[in-house]
Amino acid sequence: MCTLTWIALERGYELYFNRDEKLTRARGLPPKRFDSQRGAWLAPADPDGGGTWIGVNDRGLSLALLNGYKRADDAQRQWRSRGLLVQELLELRDVRAFEERLRALELGAYRSFTLFALDPRAAPLAANWDGAALAFEAHASGGPPLCSSSLDPTGAAKARRELFARWREAAGGVDAELLQRFHASHLPERGPLSPCMHRADAMTQSFTRIRCEGARVELSYSPGAPCLALEPTTLSLRLAPLESARP
């Protein structure tokens, strides 16, 4: 249950992400810096499943996870947290390495997902895993939002994309201000279909903005629905030189 948008900048990009979760799940932990021999990355943490649903590394590679909610996910088996996969992939260099790694992995241990990958130097990709097959889809700057919903996947995506399209047409394009307003919107009404989602059993639990431009990347994380305008936690990284790129 999430909504993702992004726009290209002259020397980078901005990514916006609403994380929607049931109220029975633990709230995400604020972002922190992770370091390994392959570099550094910024990400919040999921106390329930482990790993993360969004993050960015010191190469400017951002990853964002949307759950799939396919029928195959109901199988009674030992599933591995999708958040652990995201955390492991944040060690990669760029979108190309992301695609190569996913094609080489055995994904049968994971429930369905869409995993969006974006870096400053290549066209972004959404990797769609339905429990049986993996497919990749390119996405253009300022294009329709990526959406997921456990209650009404088709209805939520339709309502949010129609709202986005109306605002984009009225504004003559997409900019950061429009995306901020969109992610905090309660249209068509405050409820399960609005980008800022509210239900009796679930709601938008956090809002994340990633800005990668020039030599720095910044992750800003608000621990609540974007309509609340809570004070964010903001961390940043200096981008590593391209010549020392990791595999």
User: What's the helix, strand, coil split of the chain in %, to 5?
Assistant: 20, 40, 40
Predicted TM-score (pTM) of this structure: 0.94
SS3 annotation, 48-100: CCCCCCEEEECCCCEEEEEECCCHHHHCCCCCCCHHHHHHHHCCCCCHHHHHH
Query: How confident is the prediction along the chain (247 residues), in pLDDT tens digits per residue?
Result: 699 999 999 999 999 999 999 999 899 999 999 999 889 999 999 999 889 999 999 999 999 999 886 666 566 778 899 999 999 999 999 999 999 999 999 999 998 999 999 999 999 999 999 999 999 999 999 999 999 877 676 888 999 999 999 999 999 999 999 999 999 999 999 999 999 999 999 999 999 999 999 999 999 999 999 999 899 999 999 999 865 444 4
CB 111 within 8 A of CB 83: no
Locate the domains of the chain by residue range: 2-242
| Helix (H) / strand (E) containing 211 | strand 202-213
User: For 121, phi and psi rounded to 5 degrees?
Assistant: -115, 0
Strand 12-22 vs strand 134-138: parallel, antiparallel, or unpaired?
Answer: unpaired
Which option is the CATH number for 2-242: 2.70.70.10, 3.60.60.10, 3.20.20.10, 2.40.420.20? Answer: 3.60.60.10
Cα 205–27–195 angle (5° rounding)? 10
